[in-house]
Structure 1
Amino acid sequence: MPSLPSNQARAQRMDRFMAFLISGGGLLIIGAVLAMLLFIMKESVPLFVPPQSRSMGTLQAPRSGGAWLDESGKAVVLLSRKEGLKAMRVPEGTSLTLPSLSSDGPPLPWRLATPPGPRGDCLVIGGDDRLSLAQLAWSKPAGENDPARWVLEPHWQGGVKLSSVPDAIFHFRLMEAGGLGGGSSLRVVARTAGGLVWSETALEPSATLAWKPIQLDPSLHASAAAWSSDGQRLFVGTQEGRLLDLDPETGQVQSTAEFGEPIQSLGFALGQSSLLVGGARGKLAAYQRVRVNEVFTLQAFHAFPRLGGPVLGFQASLRDKRFLAWTPSEAVVDHLTTERRMFSAPIEGLGVATLAPRGDLILHANEGTGALRLWSLDAPHPEVSFGLLWGKTHYEGYEKPEYVWQSTGGTDDFEPKFSLVPLVFGTLKGTLYAMLFAFPLAVLGALYTSQFATPRLKHTIKPAIEIMAALPSVVLGFLAGLVMAPLLERMAVEVFIYPFVVLLLALLIAPFWSRLPLPFRNAFGTGREVLWMVPVLLLAVALTNFAGPWIERVAMGGSYRTWLQTAMGVTYDQRNSLVVGFAMGFAVIPIIFTISEDALSSVPKSLTSASLACGASPWQTAWRIVLPTASPGIFSATMVGLGRAIGETMIVLMATGNTPILDWSPFNGMRTLSANIAVEIPEAPLHGTLYRVLFLAAFLLFVLTFILNTVAELVRQRLRRRYESI
């Protein structure tokens, strides 16, 4: 067989090379997209990994009535009424020397001692019947991780003389001094043989603590009590299952709640605003004091799985809303916001449990044997669950469960709120208003340009609109936020009546057009109708500038914002959905217009000629023949514009208030998924919960866009098969 000519062989080699290059480029693009998707998924998946815990063994220690774990989890301080303070290395169990124990502590043996709180503070009644406040702290040389080189420095305050020694101390609260003068005071609530008592005293050796009785209903018997965060209110739990909120000064009960079983213990989660209540039969719930209908009430807003015995106490983490609760047979760690049980382990006998400040280490001290059991807990993202992301959650300070996004706050005890529902809602809302503005203008403009405009006018209009696509989003957002939003606020009434004025003028002028000579209309009208609309639009602007203030003054009492608030209950925000719709519409119009115009112009001339030959008017032909035939392309254009609107970031970021609310009102703003990522990313620490939730939002955007494009392609193919036979 004769060899092919050299030019033809080179052409075939070039064809094979280009086919390989194009195919390889396409595969690389697909691979890059899949790699991005996999990376986003990889960063999001740890949010849903369940907590992991493991036993770290049992240590033998002197019997103690309380324990305090260091934040690092390497040392524990034990409180014994007979021996005072002891320290041990964790988890080795070796004793640590306490060379710096000062002599100003209460003398042994102690009459009474409360278990240390998460910050290492406790009350001690010494052998001399004086009350002291201990604040435990480790002095650590810089960079020293060996507990053997640490120095325990307990700071003792008080030495207050007691009028009588109580049977038990329920709770105490250190009241910091306000202003420039005065010292701190201590509020204590306790139980004596005569019932519930309280007192407030200065932390000075010369002070005397005199107990004041709290008069309860004779049918109620106090079993637990705790001070509010400001120390002004007292929460009391009773053996009859009643939870009371009272003023200790007057003894007046402000509100009550039924718990359903005898209350065994009270405590607080991080922030001291959520009251943890444990029952004698294992019921576990959280209450808050919240204003409902202008009245403060005790509201049960979280319930947790029941425990197998009386709840003996609580210990809160200092990092998040997790807390420890224990019974004689079980220790658990739950998360307040998600109501998620992260840890559960069996224990034996009465004792005191403690949770490390980071919440990653649990210790139980058996009162009878002195055995210390240790567990580690790995739960990096406890504040996120599927229900929290997509369901209503009852947050602190809220009257009822709601969808809320609020990732950060002004204090360390802030409760993060990661509901994605307001963000998805905001994305759909912004897209809807943008498409309501862009779709009719773009499609009808493309229909006019392709079917009615003269070739010269068409070649002017189409490039001008396509140039709009070159406007950067940040410029559109800048103009929308700083120019359009204030202008719309000042001329809102004029903007709303403008379309009706234009329609009215067009209806009034249309009859005069039909009376003009036919040569004039053929020469200057057909294909140039849009030019005659320019003076009509300008005249409408002048009329609305005159009529708008008059309508606002007569029909709206002089202020449309006040009228909206009083008559419709709607608040007008300067940066609202209308501004976003207009600005984003300008970004979407060029895409929809260009693709739709190409689709409309591609309709075979034979179809339009046949329609016109059958007696149909140009508008009937455009509406009944051209538009349905080009519908696959128009639908594709709409979906491309929809995808652009969903993923738009800068316009939404700059032109709206970025408020994540659930409200369809066009007069307030929203927050979209893409804008939320841009706003929150500077505040997201690497591999933190917010960091991973933002990746989840990005994954959601990816999936949403993929579904839209897939549905668009399926519908386009179906429309194409339907009209391809025409």
Structure 2
Amino acid sequence: MASTPPNQTRAQRMDRFMAFAISGGGLAIIGAVLAMLLFITKEALPLFLPPLVRPAGTASALPAGGIWLEEAGKAGVFLSAGEGVRALRLPTGAALPAPAEGPPRPWRAFTRPNAKGESLVIGADGRLSILSLAWTKPAGENDPAQWTLETRWQGDLPLRDQPRELLHFRLIEGDGLGGGQTLRVVVLLDQGLGWADAPLEATPAPLAWKPIPLEAGLTPTAAAWSADGRNLSVGTLEGQLLDLDVEAGTALASASFGEPIQSLGFALGQSSLLVGGREGGLAAYQRVRVGEAFQLQRFHAFPRLQGPVLGFMPSQRDKRFLAWTPEQAVVDHLTTERRLFSAPLEGRGLAALAPRGDLILHADAATGGLRFWTLDAPHPEVSFGLLWGKTHYEGYEKPEQVWQSTGGTDDFEPKFSLIPLVFGTLKGTLYAMLFAFPLAVLGALYTSQFATPRLRNVIKPTVEIMAALPSVVLGFLAGLVMAPLLERMAVEVLVYPFVVLLLMLALAPFWGRLSRPFRNAFGEGREVLWMVPVLLVGLWLASLAGPWVEQAVMGGSYRTWLQTAMGVTYDQRNSLVVGFAMGFAVIPIIFTISEDALSSVPRSLTSASLACGASPWQTAWRVVLPTASPGIFSATMVGLGRAIGETMIVLMATGNTPVMDWSPFNGMRTLSANIAVEIPEAPLHGTLYRVLFLAAFLLFIFTFILNTVAELVRQRLRRRYESI
């Protein structure tokens, strides 16, 4: 048997090695893509995990009338008429040192501490005082036994008449550098509601209650001051919710709750009024301006509770809040209306929510027994409906789809709708493809079928070099050069295509009168060179005609005309700028692949068409273009994927405003640009961080779907024309 030559053996080994290397490289690429997809999915998936609730134990304590929890939930302050201020370690219930000063006991009345640890107290001497609670912690000390509870008492105001019940109070900061605090109180008197206000820095004078008139037949049950203390919300036994101007003594707005109102409170930010009914109804209201008047709008409704709603406690981190009845305690989120926590109770009592919103405490009113739960809900402000549907946000008249991840205050309500970002992505892609697709495909058709070989060897490398331009350079030029230029010459740009078309129609007869030898020698295959002076002359004529058109048709200002005639605002960095700039990035991709596909059409097909009497244009349009359609479609899909994923051009050439408007004269915000803008400010593993990964997942899915559809269509078109 003949031995294999050494050269052939080496070649076989090299073939096996290269086959292994190529297969391994392909599998590595597939593995890398899948690994990226898994990582993106892992980072986005926690957004949709349900809240985790765990019982955290029980403890014994004396009955209390008010509870305030420390931020981490490791200590609590309990108020009672007989004992005053007590501090307990949680969840063991062990006593902690607490200051003994304060109004003389037993207290006649006091309010439950609000989320800031403030309470209003009427001592045994009948004087009104304000209690402010705070914990002083040594640096790095996590043991509550080493903390110091500070109680600050203010006011000590004498009262002319003792109220039946303290309903609500508000500390109002004064204006200017010298402005002090003013206390505003609403109480329940024998004859109805009363209110008073007093500056805390002035010499205390007896506090006189001013009556608050209500319509006949209305019985007040709850009241709460607005954040600025100017308006008073009142709930009645008849189920009416009133918005009052107490200084003017008038009702500004009213709404029907549908059942007797038991409790009023506020979510974080003090703008959303929480209303609880005696039959377990739970809703949120806000003041909205309609015309020249305000209305109370019911903009969130929550699942009904069992029994009368006894009170509310908001979180100081997000829009979640605690509500409780004698039979049930729940934690709901204002924006998404998600119920994060629900637990059955046994009898009346008090409940409290830690400022972080991760610990719930309930104290039985009869025995003082304490029950604790921990709540792990790191992303309550996100839901499927919020991401893809319309949500009613604070300050908005109706549900809308909005993206606004941050605000100027800690109580800002984040808005994470992805619809404006998806809309912006599709809008930017649309305008880019409207500009790039016809130029690239028609340019490829001319280059492959009509241009001379020498001209083709110049055009194709030049267009391919365009693909090497960094997108940041294109974005820089678009934002700083093209956008201001387009703003100054918008009418000229609009007129330019029509001027060029008219100029070509005017010159066409003269071209036909030229001798055929001249046209064959200098025209056929070189038409694009003759177009250069035509385009330049058209540009000059458009610069002359633009101001005349703007003056004659648009009254001298196209921006004013757009605003008055069409209701459209012209932004300097708009979709047209993005379309032009991103089109330059997409054209080389579509042109190169399309030109290769068109050049690959067998010459036998074109020769047969020409032999049958078809003109070169008819041959290109009826034979070459359909035959090359699989490659052209693939080129279009690749360019579309490039446009969808473009970041820097969109980031630098638009205002990055997440608006939903198809107008070409305003901007947009795309998914990719949003990731680039927001990710540096996103806290690690925070809600914004994970929503951005969800946006990346959407981009991945969009690209995957586009590529899959493109391949399926390409294969179908290929089977259709492969028999030709």
Classify the TM-score, shorter chain: over 0.9
Map of 2:169 onto structure 1: 172
Map of 1:25 onto structure 2: 25
In 2, Cα distance between the equivalents of 1:10 and 1:530? Answer: 53
Map of 2:119 onto structure 1: 122
Whether the aligned pair in 2 keeps the contact of 1:160 and 1:205 (CA below 8 Å) is no
Map of 1:693 onto structure 2: 691
Whether the aligned pair in 1 keeps the contact of 2:85 and 2:100 (CA below 8 Å) is no
1:392-413 per-residue CA deviation (whole Å, 9 max, x = no partner) reads 0000000000000000000000
In 1, Cα distance between the equivalents of 2:203 and 2:144? Answer: 33
In 2, Cα distance between the equivalents of 1:698 and 1:280? Answer: 47
In 1, Cα distance between the equivalents of 2:152 and 2:363? Answer: 24
Counterpart residue type for residue 173 of structure 2: E
Superposition deviation, residue 279 in structure 1: 0.7
In 2, Cα distance between the equivalents of 1:665 and 1:66? Answer: 56
1:309-340 per-residue CA deviation (whole Å, 9 max, x = no partner) reads 11111000000000000001100000000000
Map of 2:6 onto structure 1: 6
Whether the aligned pair in 2 keeps the contact of 1:184 and 1:202 (CA below 8 Å) is yes
1:258-315 per-residue CA deviation (whole Å, 9 max, x = no partner) reads 1111111100000000000001101100000011234311100000000011111100
In 2, Cα distance between the equivalents of 1:336 and 1:351? Answer: 24
1:200 aligns with 2:197: yes
Superposition deviation, residue 140 in structure 1: 1.1
Runs of 4+ in 1 over 4 A off after TM superposition: none
Superposition deviation, residue 102 in structure 1: 5.5
In 1, Cα distance between the equivalents of 2:196 and 2:113? Answer: 20
Counterpart residue type for residue 319 of structure 1: R
Deviates more, 1:536-545 or 1:436-445: 536-545
Judged with a 3 Å threshold, the aligned counterparts in structure 2 of structure 1 residues 17 and 411 are, in CA distance, closer, same or farther, namely same
Unaligned runs of 5+ in 2: none
In 2, Cα distance between the equivalents of 1:557 and 1:365? Answer: 73
In 2, Cα distance between the equivalents of 1:381 and 1:690? Answer: 9
In 2, Cα distance between the equivalents of 1:281 and 1:479? Answer: 64
1:535-559 per-residue CA deviation (whole Å, 9 max, x = no partner) reads 1111111111111001101110100
Map of 2:436 onto structure 1: 438
* Secondary structure in 2 matching 1:29: helix
Counterpart residue type for residue 17 of structure 2: F
In 2, Cα distance between the equivalents of 1:647 and 1:207? Answer: 69
Map of 2:256 onto structure 1: 258
Whether the aligned pair in 2 keeps the contact of 1:112 and 1:126 (CA below 8 Å) is yes
Whether the aligned pair in 2 keeps the contact of 1:161 and 1:205 (CA below 8 Å) is no
In 2, Cα distance between the equivalents of 1:508 and 1:30? Answer: 57
Superposition deviation, residue 25 in structure 1: 0.5
Map of 2:181 onto structure 1: 184
1:160 aligns with 2:157: yes
Q: How many residues align?
A: 723
Counterpart residue type for residue 509 of structure 1: L
Deviates more, 1:195-204 or 1:251-260: 195-204
Q: Could you tell me which of 489, 492, 500 is aligned with 2:490? A: 492
1:602-613 map, 5 Å: 602-613=600-611
Q: Could you tell me which of 405, 408, 411 is aligned with 1:407? A: 405
1:375-390 map, 5 Å: 375-390=373-388
Map of 1:588 onto structure 2: 586
In 2, Cα distance between the equivalents of 1:130 and 1:230? Answer: 25
Whether the aligned pair in 1 keeps the contact of 2:58 and 2:92 (CA below 8 Å) is no
Counterpart residue type for residue 22 of structure 2: I
Counterpart residue type for residue 140 of structure 2: G
* Secondary structure in 2 matching 1:198: strand
In 2, Cα distance between the equivalents of 1:619 and 1:418? Answer: 52
In 1, Cα distance between the equivalents of 2:578 and 2:505? Answer: 31
Superposition deviation, residue 384 in structure 1: 0.3
Percent of counterpart pairs with the same letter?
Answer: 77
Deviates more, 1:200-209 or 1:388-397: 200-209
1:522-574 per-residue CA deviation (whole Å, 9 max, x = no partner) reads 00010001111111111111111111001101110100000000000000000
In 1, Cα distance between the equivalents of 2:631 and 2:703? Answer: 18
1:88-103 map, 5 Å: 88-98=88-98, 101=99, 103=101
1:357 aligns with 2:355: yes
1:37-186 map, 5 Å: 37-98=37-98, 101=99, 103=101, 105-186=102-183
In 1, Cα distance between the equivalents of 2:496 and 2:132? Answer: 71
Whether the aligned pair in 2 keeps the contact of 1:477 and 1:583 (CA below 8 Å) is yes
Counterpart residue type for residue 200 of structure 1: D
1:549 aligns with 2:547: yes
Whether the aligned pair in 1 keeps the contact of 2:173 and 2:179 (CA below 8 Å) is no
Counterpart residue type for residue 94 of structure 1: A
Superposition deviation, residue 182 in structure 1: 4.1
Map of 2:243 onto structure 1: 245
* Secondary structure in 2 matching 1:365: strand
In 1, Cα distance between the equivalents of 2:71 and 2:263? Answer: 25
1:327-357 per-residue CA deviation (whole Å, 9 max, x = no partner) reads 0110000000000000000111111111000
In 2, Cα distance between the equivalents of 1:200 and 1:644? Answer: 64
Map of 1:335 onto structure 2: 333
Judged with a 3 Å threshold, the aligned counterparts in structure 2 of structure 1 residues 504 and 326 are, in CA distance, closer, same or farther, namely same
1:632-643 map, 5 Å: 632-643=630-641
Unaligned runs of 5+ in 1: none
Whether the aligned pair in 2 keeps the contact of 1:224 and 1:236 (CA below 8 Å) is yes
Whether the aligned pair in 1 keeps the contact of 2:68 and 2:77 (CA below 8 Å) is yes
Deviates more, 1:701-710 or 1:139-148: 139-148
* Secondary structure in 2 matching 1:719: helix
* Secondary structure in 1 matching 2:696: helix
Counterpart residue type for residue 42 of structure 2: K
Counterpart residue type for residue 52 of structure 2: Q
Superposition deviation, residue 646 in structure 1: 0.3
In 1, Cα distance between the equivalents of 2:379 and 2:63? Answer: 35
1:607-686 map, 5 Å: 607-686=605-684
Counterpart residue type for residue 355 of structure 1: L
Counterpart residue type for residue 194 of structure 2: V
Whether the aligned pair in 2 keeps the contact of 1:158 and 1:205 (CA below 8 Å) is no
Superposition deviation, residue 92 in structure 1: 1.4
In 2, Cα distance between the equivalents of 1:554 and 1:12? Answer: 79
In 1, Cα distance between the equivalents of 2:371 and 2:604? Answer: 88
Whether the aligned pair in 1 keeps the contact of 2:120 and 2:130 (CA below 8 Å) is yes
Q: Could you tell me which of 462, 471, 474 is aligned with 1:473? A: 471
Superposition deviation, residue 205 in structure 1: 6.2
Counterpart residue type for residue 412 of structure 1: D
Counterpart residue type for residue 139 of structure 2: A
Counterpart residue type for residue 603 of structure 2: K
RMSD of aligned residue pairs (Cα, Å): 0.8
In 2, Cα distance between the equivalents of 1:3 and 1:230? Answer: 99
Whether the aligned pair in 1 keeps the contact of 2:283 and 2:301 (CA below 8 Å) is yes
Map of 1:575 onto structure 2: 573
Whether the aligned pair in 2 keeps the contact of 1:66 and 1:365 (CA below 8 Å) is no
* Secondary structure in 1 matching 2:263: strand
Superposition deviation, residue 126 in structure 1: 0.4
Superposition deviation, residue 166 in structure 1: 0.9
Map of 2:229 onto structure 1: 231
Superposition deviation, residue 113 in structure 1: 1.1
